[in-house]
Amino acid sequence: MRILVVEDEKKVASFVKMGLEEESYAVDVSYDGEEGGGLAETNPYDLIILDIMLPKKSGLSVLRELRDKGINTPILLLTARGTVEDKVAGLNAGADDYLAKPFMFSELLARVRSLLRRGGEKSPVLKFADLTMDPVTRKVTRSGVDIMLTSKEYSLLDYFLRRPNQVLTRTMISEHVWESDFDAVTNVIDVYVKHLRNKIDKEFEKKLIHTVWGVGYILKE
Ligand code: CA
């Protein structure tokens, strides 16, 4: 899951980025509304965390422009002024949720998870065949056996589990699992997929991650 954070207060931005990265999200940060809006238009983010008071362009303008352009990525608005007017203006402009600063990271994380879940699945636990992943406890099991994954392997598996039976190209994988400064050397993706397969498939008869030659990978039975 790849998240864009648009926030000019560097301390808040780095605190949010660090916390989300610890939760295995790929995070890009922008410090002004103009650049942030541009990034949001050109990259396939799964969620945008958008401050309202920003240099160059306000968060509300960025939000309206994105919605006008038909970009419906979930947006969580942040503001220092937790007034009812701000909240109403934000929600009217198409924000999905709203959080007043200062906030605890755990509060932010709960909103982030809830917004990412609205994509469809009712249960927060992701399942495919005998493989399960619980985003809250971060526990991954196959046939009831616990599997320990590194942070990147976890993000990668999370992406596969949210798009079962779909061919995922290396570009799609790099865009959703890595930050934008990641140098998309497809080799790196292949190495991570190999590590992931060693953990979730190697010991099991039925393989779940398959190579689609010349294209990418697919999670299927
Ligand atoms: Ca601000």
pLDDT for residue 121:
46
Pairwise pLDDT comparison (154 vs 80), residue with the higher score: 154
Encoded tokens for 218: 């697919």
pLDDT for residue 50:
97
Task: Note whether 2-116 and 126-219 share their fold.
Answer: no
Residue 114's region, left for phi above 0, alpha for psi from -120 to 50, else beta, is alpha
Between the CA of 201 and the centroid of ligand 1 the distance, in Å, is 46
Looking at domain 126-219, its CATH class is mainly alpha
Between the CA of 9 and the centroid of ligand 1 the distance, in Å, is 6
- Is the full-model pTM beyond 0.85? no
Q: Among residues of the chain, what percentage have pLDDT more than 70?
A: 94
- CATH topology for 2-116 is Rossmann fold (3.40.50)
CA distance 99 to 103: 7
CA distance 118 to 122: 8
Between the CA of 54 and the centroid of ligand 1 the distance, in Å, is 5
Between the CA of 39 and the centroid of ligand 1 the distance, in Å, is 18
Between the CA of 12 and the centroid of ligand 1 the distance, in Å, is 9
Domain spans of the chain?
A: 2-116, 126-219
Between the CA of 7 and the centroid of ligand 1 the distance, in Å, is 6
